[in-house]
Amino acid sequence: MSDANGFHATTILAVKKAGRTIIAGDGQVSFGQVVLKSNARKVRRLGNGAVIAGFAGATADALTLFERLEQKLERFPAQLARAAVELAKDWRTDRYLRRLEAMLVVADARDLLILTGVGDVLEPEYPVAAVGSGANYALAAARALYDVLDDPEVIARRAMAIAADLCIYTNNNLTVESI
């Protein structure tokens, strides 16, 4: 899934297969047409390590959302979907949060979700999800590789390499987390 706001920030890809979920994110931070940093860490563990999350968009905004999601996970332990819905409600209704420009892909052992700033909590139709400027490339590549490769990490890494070859806002410095 691509973001509606056209973030030129990064590419985050999640692949769920064979009892594992992988979230991979590139490391490029861009400001307009300038690369400010090539090795940022946009994929993190939350909820005492039980949840992995990746973000596309403004870094400070995404970190704020990570903190809020962490609070929701403390309130609703082992209930990622519930915590995500509660975060989306706040994101949609809170005057400060409404201005945040980021999208999240979050996963635990059971759920894979996309969270948007317009209040969406989406469970992808297929066991792959992507956000960010290279999302369409990564998503298409992952879907094409899904039926021919068994390892979700291999799928994610190859799909991200394709996205990095096509999207100028995506690079090959990956952070990969597995659950």
- Summarised one tens digit per residue, pLDDT across range 126-159 is 999 999 999 999 999 999 999 999 999 999 999 9
Q: Is residue 111 part of a domain?
A: yes
Tell me the pLDDT tens digit for each residue of 33-42.
888 899 999 9
Asked, for residue 126, whether it belongs to a domain, the answer is: yes
Say what percent of the chain tops pLDDT 70.
91
Asked if residue 61 belongs to a domain, the reply is: yes
- Tell whether 124 is covered by a domain: yes
Taking the complete model, does pTM exceed 0.75, yes or no? yes
Decide if 1 is inside a domain: no
d(CA 99, CA 117): 8
Count up the domains in the chain and report the number: 1
Question: Which residue in the block uniquely carries the two structure tokens 């563990």?
Answer: 45
Q: Backbone phi, then psi, for 159, in 5-degree steps?
A: -65, -40
- Amino acid at residue number 56: A
Query: What CATH code is carried by the domain that includes residue 116?
Result: 3.60.20.10
Question: Is 115 contained in some domain?
Answer: yes
**95: pLDDT strictly greater than 70:** no
Residue 100 is part of which domain span? Answer: 11-172
The answer to whether position 6 is within a domain reads no
Where residue 2 falls among pLDDT bands split at 50, 70, 90?
very low
Is-contact 38 173, C-beta < 8 A? yes
136 CB-contact burial (10 Å; exposed 0-12 / middle 13-18 / buried 19+): middle
- In angstroms, the CA 166 to CA 55 distance is 20
> Which of the residues are catalytic?
10
**pLDDT per residue as tens digits for the range 64-91:** 889 999 999 999 999 999 999 999 888 8
Q: What is the mean pLDDT of the chain?
A: 90
Pairing of strands 11-17, 51-57: unpaired
